[in-house]
Amino acid sequence: MQIDWLAFTPGPAFFGGILLGAAAALYVILHGRILGISGIVSGLLSPKEGDIDWRLSLILGLLSAPFLASIFFDIHTITVIDADWFALILAGVLVGFGANYGSGCTSGHGVCGCAIRLRQIFSCYAVFYERWIFNSLCYSSCTGSVSHEKTFQFC
């Protein structure tokens, strides 16, 4: 993976990160719960009374934000996914299993867990990055499609 430096926009990314951090902090302060999208989505599968409205609102907000950004801020992105449907479905199932097994997704643990300084989160991230490097090396060795230098170019 390489960064397209001509299309890199640190300003919107920085302010988006601030908004995400503020939303996570407000959610903890106002509701006493960690803002984890995988937990919010899985809560829709077996909702409690009064849970459906706020969960659907949050998910619809996440899904509509890119559309609204393209209208109001003239931000247009082109996403090219070079994978077949089977690989995408398998990846989704594996990520869903991992998020369920790990009691949340890595982004939720990173944004909220690191903010409240949970020691377990730092060990989880160490394992996550170790697995990422190991899997990248295995993939590139097995397929020959990515050289080791290119694998670590993003780091």
| Structural domains in the chain (count) | 1
How is residue 33 annotated by DSSP? S
Report yes or no on 77 lying in a domain: yes
Four-point Cα dihedral 24, 27, 33, 37, nearest 10: -50
Amino acid at 28: V
What pLDDT, in 10s, does the model give residues 32-83? 877 778 778 888 888 888 888 888 988 898 889 888 888 888 877 777 777 7
Report yes or no on 147 lying in a domain: no
What pLDDT, in 10s, does the model give residues 128-148? 778 878 877 777 777 665 544
Report yes or no on 51 lying in a domain: yes
How many secondary structure helices (H) and strands (E) does the chain include?
8, 0
Report yes or no on 140 lying in a domain: no
Q: Model-level pTM?
A: 0.57
Report yes or no on 60 lying in a domain: yes
CA separation for the pair 54, 40 (Å, rounded):
9
Task: Write out the residue range of the structural domain in which residue 25 sits.
Answer: 10-82
Report yes or no on 57 lying in a domain: yes
Report yes or no on 90 lying in a domain: no
Report yes or no on 105 lying in a domain: no
